[in-house]
Chain A
Amino acid sequence: MSDNTGIINGINGNLLQVEFENPVLQNEVGYALTGELRLKSEVIRINGTRAEMQVFEDTSGLSVGDRLEFSGELLSAELGPGLLTQIYDGLQNPLPELAEKCGYFLKRGVYFDALNKDGSWAFTPVAEKQAEVTAGDTLGTVPEGMFSHRIMVPFRMTGRYIVEEVAAEGEYTLKDTIAKLRDTAGKLHDVTMLQHWPVKIPIRCYNERLRPSDPLVTRIRIIDTLFPVARGGTYCIPGPFGAGKTVLQQITSRYADVDIVIIAACGERAGEVVETLREFPELTDPRTGKSLMERTLIICNTSSMPVAAREASVYTAVTIAEYYRQMSLNVLLLADSTSRWAQALREVSGRLEEIPGEEAFPAYLESVIASFYERGGTVRLNDGSIGSITIGGTVSPAGGNFDEPVTQSTLKVVGAFHGLSRERSDARRYPALDPLESWSKYPSVVSGDDVQYARHILRQGNEVDQMMKVVGEEGTSLDDFIVYLKSEYLDDTYLQQDAFHPVDAATDADRQKYVFGKLVKILKTPMTFEDKEKARHFFQKLTQITKDWNQVAMDEEDFTKLDDTIGGMLAEVTEYV
């Protein structure tokens, strides 16, 4: 505890003016004290002897003259075994524990330890005595669910150390010393399994950053095939409300081929988090056969929770992601939604009376967003193993207009753009990714040439469709009309996916390769019909059968049967073999 205190001199919403005497740090955490309450806050601006602090809670009941206790620490995340399966608020307060103590409603000023200090973990030493180590090197491991959780030299310990002592194999709590390290000056440092790291500073205990190249399979066909994401890459999902951003993220969090998923529900609906929260423990991870919750961590600062903690929540999430990346794991961080976080910045900026930029967002918005996404990436750790953080952020642009500042700042720094369109969601074409506007810089799970061809057909189909709106169906040639039907067919049967169907909801990479190969072959096949009505009828029937096909598991008998039916249908109208 620090005994540095200040006096509150002004209150405006969640912004306090505090008079202080002793030195304070920028971004230092402080507690506003009134009666029994201790409200967490953070220094965001200093002017002479006045610090401006944003309070992470509702400020009702504070008055001028109340004391504010500075902690001497930056806003930090608590890191150690036991993080997984947890549900935290933006300040890493465990919500289930809060619910147990305080009932239905959140209570301000109540903070619990993020990690249980009494539970014990089975520690196995790895580091040799007298070995030389640096920050991030492994001292030992403990099993955490299905992972081997590395206990590392705390990241804040700069320089080289000699391992003087490592605890023997056995059960230890987070408070127990598991190693003693001697620095170059000869001083001994005790190391526990618990460490703290300031959330706004990236953890950089790695050898080098690598270019993301392995595809991250999400089992969503339109993403993996047309607009893929790479492990260690970044992508954003902007879309108007109701276009299915959150559903898309939920499906991704379920099926994505990574080790750990961190969900940062930032300023969005509480109901959406609840779905994850309640369903995940029941669902089994298709990769490991264990409960999905075992690989999941939820940071949840929903829209009606204190605004200031929203900003903290994305940083807390990315810090924890970095912690697990240091264990050579592949982490996926899903942030929903980064616009809400940007809005929180805007609210604070407005209260600070800063000169506003576009749409009253602060001028530093772009650099803040860029440095957040830059915390993603694939790295080679000091021991040569690889870890990655993939960041997927949704954006909720005002009015669904992608020209607004948050979308534009995000597009500059991400590797894939999954733009959702209102037209597609209105037409119930889910997932509502716009196949003409979206892009990705990462490699696809299927052959690149096929992707090119499919996109070509989609573009052509769209052109014909636009033309038909002007000249009508009778003014369109049969050949053009067939191109249009083909693009609709691809859209209906491959790009659209029924998220609620047990089989259709997730298509693995092998099936994508097989089915997409087949569809491209159909697209490439020249077809002849007597008239447009016959062509339409044929494609309606083909679409229906292909949709049925999508709903049959690959190892079922019907899969081959329907496959043959499709082949048979095509043989009737084409030279398809």
Chain B
Amino acid sequence: MYKVFTRIERIAGNVVMLEADDVTYRELAEVTSSQGSSLAQVIRIDGNRVYLQVFTGGRGVSTDAHVRFLGKNMQIPFSDALMGRVFTGGGLPRDRGPSITQNMIDIGGPSVNPAKRIIPRNMVRTGIPMIDVFNTLVESQKLPIFSVAGEPYNQLLARISLQADVDVIILGGMGLKHDDYLYFRDTLEDQGALSRSVLFIHTAADPTVECLLVPDVSLAVAERFALEGKRVLVLLTDMTNYADSLKEIAITMEQIPSNRGYPGDLYSQLAARYEKAVDFDDAGSITVLAATTMPGDDVTHPVPDNTGYITEGQFYLRNGRIEPFGSLSRLKQLVNDKTREDHRNIMNTMIQLYAAYRETMEKQAMGFRMSPWDLKLLKYGELFEKEMMDLSVNIPLEEALDLGWKILAECFEPAETGLPTKLIDGFWPETHTATTEKTD
């Protein structure tokens, strides 16, 4: 019933070109040659020349391959049967389960009407004080985790997927090492969290084009779950691999690169994905956490840089800790006034003092004499790092706030903290106010 074309004119990288008519833009096609068959998508039409991006790559595509246009866009199955399953970027099972073909939905759909969005209102509890207290994650938020290769960002994501207070976890892996994929699968399985998760995994060994599909399929499925009223957390790792795949395709298509070889629309491409994060008024929500490795630990590299402008803050993962400086949850102000009255002040004060501690550390490293104030800061900094920053700490927000007061009281006089008098009266641990207050 579909016309089959059998003459491919040009093959360059993952893109093949043939002459065909009656083709619509973005339509899917099936390319079959002796090496097997693959889906492909129309990415450019010029007169009767049609450019196709072959999902499994151009390798092994013969010039007489059979190309059949399918008259539809890329789709992915959606049902509750997805839970606990692992798929490839193309939507095929990666575990040993059956393939699912009913209830196909389009991927990469239109964006949410801004007039239908609401102000985020719910916090996502993670049990990690560096997130809950200092940079609260909020439903519908999109946040990248900036780190460098070698940092435990996948471990952090795995921990969040176990501890986070949400209904559904969608994990999109792009260019994952096979070991990392197994680590995710096993961790989720061992801790019993796999049953609330759907995994879309592209490993480094898979074709590049499938990597490009991972965020779209993950978010399309997430969107459906959210419309059904579920609170969905989408974890993407690693978005830099995604951007590199975009670059690869763009260069193959001979587009003019804008910055370090990345295409000029990198920002728009990333934004179209991240902006899928949403909180529906009368349905569920999508929250996105995306690991983004910074090549050379350089935040001005185009990928982290463009990401930072799109997302609502960022976490920096450095030396196995969430770095308090630079890390920012832009939406935290919307929820942290409803948690506990001291939340905001504790958050600000502890970070300001920690910043002062870092300065003192520098001074100390240069061999300067430490003033009494410096000594207090040193004590504080060590306590803070040990009891709050360590990623293995798993306590609810309220306990973490109490811990904050305890640490402050162990190190400072109330006035030195700069906290409002009213809060000090209410929260300063009793045992420590007895110490003599020095004036002047």
Residues of A within 8 A of B (CB): 9-13, 17, 34, 58-65, 87, 95-96, 98-99, 102-108, 240-242, 265, 267-271, 273-275, 277-279, 300, 302-305, 307, 340, 343-344, 346-347, 350, 353, 356, 359-361, 396, 398-401, 422, 425-428, 469, 472-474, 500, 532-534, 536-538, 540-541, 543-544, 547-548
Contacting residue for B371 out of A34, A64, A426, A473, CB 8 A? A473
Flag whether B230 is at the interface (Cβ < 8 A).
no
Partner of B369, one of A60, A95, A472: A472
Given A11-B45, A61-B26, A398–B351 Cβ distance below 8 Å?
A: no
Across the interface, do A105 and B268 meet the contact criterion of CB distance under 8 Å? Answer: no
Chain B nearest Cβ from A259, distance in angstroms: 24
Cβ proximity bits B297-328 to A, threshold 8 Å, 1 near / 0 not:
00111100110111011100000000001101
Other-chain contact of B114, A10, A87, A534 (Cβ < 8 Å) = A87
Q: A64-B48, A472-B369 are in contact. Are A350 and B362 (CB under 8 A)?
A: no
Q: Are A540 and B418 in contact (CB-based, < 8 A)?
A: yes
Q: Is the CB of B373 within 8 A of A533?
A: yes
Is the Cβ of B110 less than 8 Å from the Cβ of A108? yes
> Is B416's CB under 8 angstroms from A540's CB?
yes
Closest to A59 in B: B25
Stretch at the interface among B116-124, B190-198, B383-391, B395-403: B116-124
Residues on B with beta carbons closer than 8 Å to the beta carbon of A547: 418
15 contacts between A and B (CB under 8 A): A64-B48, A104-B113, A104-B280, A105-B113, A242-B330, A269-B275, A269-B310, A271-B140, A277-B115, A302-B275, A350-B263, A360-B259, A399-B301, A426-B326, A548-B420
Q: Which residues of A contact B73 (CB under 8 A)?
A: 60-61
**Which of B53-61, B87-95, B250-258 has 4 or more CB atoms under 8 Å from chain A?**
B250-258
Give the residues in chain B near A344, CB-CB below 8 Å.
268
Among B1-56, those with CB < 8 Å from A are 21-27, 44-48
| Minimum C-beta distance from A375 to chain B (A) | 25
Q: How many whole Å from B223's CB to the nearest CB in chain A? A: 9
Contact of B46 among A10, A95, A269, A533 (CB under 8 A): A10
Residue contact A11 to B114, C-beta cutoff 8 Å: no
- Whether, in the assembled complex, B393 has its beta carbon less than 8 Å from a beta carbon of chain A, the answer is no
If A105-B112, A534-B440, A541-B415 touch, whether A60 touches B117 (CB-CB below 8 Å) is: no
B440 to A61, Cβ gap below 8 A? no
Nearest-CB distance from B300 to chain A (Å)?
Answer: 3
Contacts of B265 in A (CB 8 A): 13, 307, 343, 347, 350
B372 sits at the interface (CB 8 A): yes
- CB nearest to A307 among chain B residues: B268
In the bound complex, do residue A241 and residue B24 qualify as a contact, i.e. CB atoms below 8 Å apart?
no
In the complex, what residues of A have CB within 8 A of residue B255's CB?
A: 350
Which residues on the B side are within 8 Å of A548 (C-beta)? 420-421
B residues near A95, Cβ cutoff 8 Å: 113-115
The residues of B that contact A396 with a CB separation of less than 8 Å are 309
Given contacts A99-B115, A242-B308, A540-B415, contact A64 B21 (CB under 8 A): yes
Q: How far is the CB of A84 from chain B (nearest CB, A)?
A: 16
Q: In the complex, which residue of chain B has the Cβ closest to the Cβ of A499? A: B333
**What CA separation (Å) do A95 and B113 show in the bound complex?**
7
The chain B residue with its CB closest to the CB of A401 is: B300
Question: Which residues in A have their C-beta under 8 angstroms from that of B439?
Answer: 537
| CB <8 Å contact, A242 and B256 | no
- Contact of B44 with A11 in the complex, beta carbons under 8 Å: yes
Interface string of B331-346 (1 = CB under 8 A from A): 1010001000000100
The 6 closest A-B pairs by CB, nearest first: A399-B300, A303-B271, A472-B368, A304-B275, A241-B308, A360-B258
Return chain B residues, CB-CB under 8 Å to A268.
309
| Distance to closest chain B CB from A229 (angstroms) | 24
Residues 354-412 (chain B) with a chain A CB within 8 angstroms:
355, 362-363, 366, 368-369, 371-373
**A64, A469, A500, A547 — which one has the most chain B CB atoms within 10 A of its CB?**
A64
What is the number of residues of chain B that contact chain A, defined by CB distance less than 8 Å? Answer: 83
C-alpha gap A64/B19 in the complex (Å): 12
Complex interface: chain A residues within 8 A of B25 (CB): 11, 59-63
Give bound CA distance, A240 to B302, whole Å. 13
Given contacts A108-B110, A474-B368, 19 further A-B contacts (CB under 8 A): A62-B24, A63-B23, A64-B21, A64-B45, A99-B115, A105-B112, A106-B113, A242-B313, A267-B271, A303-B271, A304-B272, A343-B268, A347-B265, A350-B256, A425-B328, A428-B352, A472-B363, A500-B333, A533-B371
| CB <8 Å contact, B328 and A242 | yes
Smallest beta-carbon distance B297→chain A, Å: 13
Instruction: Give, as a whole number of angstroms, the nearest-CB distance from B214 to chain A.
Output: 18
Contact of B302 among A241, A398, A533 (CB under 8 A): A398
Residue of B whose beta carbon sits closest to that of A34: B24
> Complex formed: what's the CA distance from A59 to B372 in Å?
67
Contact B267 A305 (CB under 8 A): no
Smallest beta-carbon distance A300→chain B, Å: 5
CA separation between A543 and B417, bound complex, in Å?
A: 12
A533 touches B258 (CB 8 A): no
Chain A residues within an 8 Å CB radius of B371: 473, 532-533
| Min C-beta distance of B119 to chain A, whole Å | 5
**The residue from A87, A271, A340, A536 contacting B267, defined by CB atoms under 8 A apart:** A340
B348 near A: Cβ within 8 Å? yes
Q: Which residues of chain B have C-beta atoms less than 8 A from A65's C-beta?
A: 21-22
**Inter-subunit contact A63/B24 (CB<8 Å):** yes
- The distance in angstroms between the C-alpha atoms of A359 and B264, with both chains bound, is 9
Q: Separation in Å of the A335 CB from the closest CB of chain B? A: 15
A271/B117 contact (C-beta < 8 A), A12-B44, A61-B25, A350-B256 known: yes
A470, closest chain B residue (CB): B366
- CB closest chain-A residue, reference B366: A472
Verify B312–A269 contact, CB threshold 8 A.
Answer: yes
B344 cross-chain contacts in A, Cβ below 8 A:
500
Task: List the A side residues contacting B111 at CB < 8 Å.
Answer: 105-106, 270, 302, 304-305
In angstroms, how far is the closest chain A Cβ from the Cβ of B366?
A: 7
B264 A350 Cβ-Cβ under 8 A:
yes
| Cα–Cα, bound, A548→B369 (Å) | 33
A63: which B residues are within 8 A, CB to CB?
22-25, 45
Given contacts A278-B118, A360-B257, A426-B325, contact A98 B110 (CB under 8 A): no
Contacts of B373 in A (CB 8 A): 533, 536
Q: A304-B272, A540-B418 are in contact. Are A270 and B112 (CB under 8 A)?
A: yes
**Closest partner residue, chain A, to B367 (CB atom):** A472
- For residue B372, which residues in chain A have a CB less than 8 angstroms away from its CB? 533
Instruction: Find out whether the CB atom of A538 lies under 8 angstroms from the CB atom of B325.
Output: no
Per-position 1/0 for B91-110, Cβ under 8 A of A = 00000000000000000011
Nearest-neighbour CB distance to chain A for B434, whole angstroms, equals: 20
Chain B residue contacts of A360, Cβ below 8 A: 256-259, 264
CB distance from A120 to the nearest CB of B (A): 25
A457 CB, min distance to chain B CBs, angstroms: 21
Complex contacts, B44 vs chain A, CB 8 Å: 11-13
CA distance A350 to B254 in the complex (A): 10
Bound-complex Cα distance A532 to B369 (A):
13
In the complex, the answer to whether B45 meets A346 with C-beta atoms within 8 Å is no
Contact of B259 (CB < 8 Å), options: A9, A359, A474: A359
Partner of B110, one of A17, A105, A472: A105
Q: Please name the residue on chain A nearest to B438 by beta carbon.
A: A537
Q: Say yes or no: A537 contacts B440, CB within 8 Å.
A: yes
Question: Is the Cβ of B280 less than 8 Å from the Cβ of A271?
Answer: no
Q: In whole angstroms, how far apart are the Cα atoms of A60 and B116 in the complex? A: 24
- Which residue of A428, A536, A543 has the most chain B CB atoms within 10 A of its CB atom? A428
Query: How long is the Cα–Cα vector from A515 to B211 in the complex, in angstroms?
Result: 58
Q: Inside 8 A of A240's CB, which chain B residues have their CB?
A: 308
Q: How far is the CA of A265 from the CA of B314 in the complex (A)?
A: 21
Q: What is the minimal beta-carbon distance from B176 to any residue of chain A, in angstroms?
A: 26
From known contacts A353-B256, A399-B300, A500-B333, infer whether A87 and B308 are also in contact, taking CB-CB under 8 Å: no
In Å, the complex CA distance between A197 and B363 comes to: 63
- Closest A-chain residue to B422, C-beta based? A548
- Contact assessment for A241 and B305 in the assembled complex, using a CB-CB cutoff below 8 Å: yes
CB-nearest residue of chain A to B73? A60
Fill in one digit per residue for B128-163: 1 if any A CB lies within 8 Å of its CB, else 0. 000000000000100000000000000000000000
